[in-house]
Structure 1
Amino acid sequence: MKTQLLRHALIPATLALSAPIAMAAPETYTLDPTHTAVEFKIDHFGFSAPSGKWMSIDGTLILDEEAPEESSVTLTIDIADVITGVPDLDAHLKTEDFFFVDEYPEATFTSTDVLLTGYATAKVTGDLTLRGVTKPVTLDVKLNKIGENMMGLKTAGFTATTTLTRSDFNMGTYAPGLADDVTLVIESEANLASE
């Protein structure tokens, strides 16, 4: 009798353990334009390293917390919205010497691979299209935090860095005096998209 009771108790437990574990589905996040910026810094003939930034950025992040290497991101940057704090420099950067925004007003980045390098770090490789040229670029990405923001939205915050070579994108004006390599830092918050 005790054996039969034990058998009947074990069957449901065994079935429960053998059932597939529900995995969290990848989630779609939208970049928050008020908390996202791309900053660039460049050596200016050895005298200083001035910077500028873009804040007109659209993007979508597909975040898979169970399998982060399956995550992906797409970005579109309004290159014509470059900000340096110096109006004459902003105007020059928009010309054919540099970004040539009349012909190429946007830059895009589409990830192609995510390689985890630590608990909250990864190398995200993708295709960057800038001034009509597409090149592979790798971002060093750090996940700063995932949680609920002050507005009650689930938010993921990231910092990403990389170095671009201007001449790769037909923007080698004044190189090498004005450095050919440019450092980029991306600070971004992305909010979970509503259903």
Structure 2
Amino acid sequence: MRLMPVAALALGCLAAAPAAQRYSLQSDASDVSAKVAFFGLASKTAKFPKVSGTALLPAGDPSGMSLEVTLDARALEAPDKVTLSRLRGPKFFWVEKYPTVQFSGKGMAMTDERNGRVSGNLTARGITKPVTLDVAFDTPPSKARAGEALALTARTTIDRRDFGMTSYSLIVGRKVDIRIRTRMTPG
């Protein structure tokens, strides 16, 4: 009988714990780009207009965040037809064989109220490598209200050679700056 009040208190605490909020990326409010040096003097930027994904943000605990982002590599856009053909071809993204690029992140370390780092894995061309996204929120996630959308910008730099994209090394830089801007809505 003595355990009943303790069990009731424990269950009450569990019931009062705020649930994690699930978010969906709004494709029409998202912009993903990859920028690389070209001939050492200029740069070229490719865009991924078809993006989908979800985030799970435990209330009051951003360290438990998970983030899944999928890019449709077949929809990749480039500044000219030659670049587009090469990027979609077997020397770069090889979209016929690998139609998506994916990021899967678990956990976020906040560096201040609006900024954090999400560690995870990036998969391109069937190759998975660890990457860290530097994330900046428009509204601090700790202050986000239930039902409120979140907007964020995430950045990382990768070495394209790590993903089997080794062609044109004298023309195309090896470091690729990736930027994700998105708005996520609850649900």
Q: TM-score, normalised by structure 1?
A: 0.82
Tell me the amino acid that sits aligned with residue 68 of structure 1.
P
Shift of 1:169: 0.2
Q: Secondary structure at the match of 2:27?
A: strand
Pair member with larger Rg: 1
Tell me the amino acid that sits aligned with residue 59 of structure 1.
G
Task: Confirm or deny that 1:33 pairs with 2:51.
Answer: no
Question: What 5-or-longer segments of structure 2 have no aligned partner?
Answer: 1-11
Shift of 1:62: 0.5
Task: Confirm or deny that 1:50 pairs with 2:44.
Answer: yes
The answer as to whether partners of 1:23 and 1:66 remain within 8 angstroms in 2 is no
RMSD: 1.8
Question: What 5-or-longer segments of structure 1 have no aligned partner?
Answer: 1-18
2: CA distance, partners of 1:81 / 1:74: 19
User: Which residue of 158, 167, 172 maps to 2:161?
Assistant: 167
Higher relative contact order (CA 8 A, sep 6+): 2
Q: Give aligned-pair identity as a percent.
A: 29
Map of 2:112 onto structure 1: 118
Shift of 1:23: 3.6
User: Which residue of 56, 67, 70 maps to 1:76?
Assistant: 70
The answer as to whether partners of 2:33 and 2:45 remain within 8 angstroms in 1 is yes
Tell me the amino acid that sits aligned with residue 101 of structure 1.
V
Deviations 1:129-180 (A, max 9, x none): 10010000100001113779xxxx6211000000010000000111254110
Q: TM-score, normalised by structure 2?
A: 0.85
Map of 2:80 onto structure 1: 86
Count of residue correspondences = 171
Tell me the amino acid that sits aligned with residue 75 of structure 1.
V
Output aligned runs, 1:1-195, within 5 Å. Answer: 20=13, 22-145=16-139, 154-193=148-187
Which stretches of structure 1, 4 residues or more, deviate above 6 A after TM superposition?
A: none
2: CA distance, partners of 1:188 / 1:176: 33
2: CA distance, partners of 1:155 / 1:78: 23
2: CA distance, partners of 1:159 / 1:123: 11
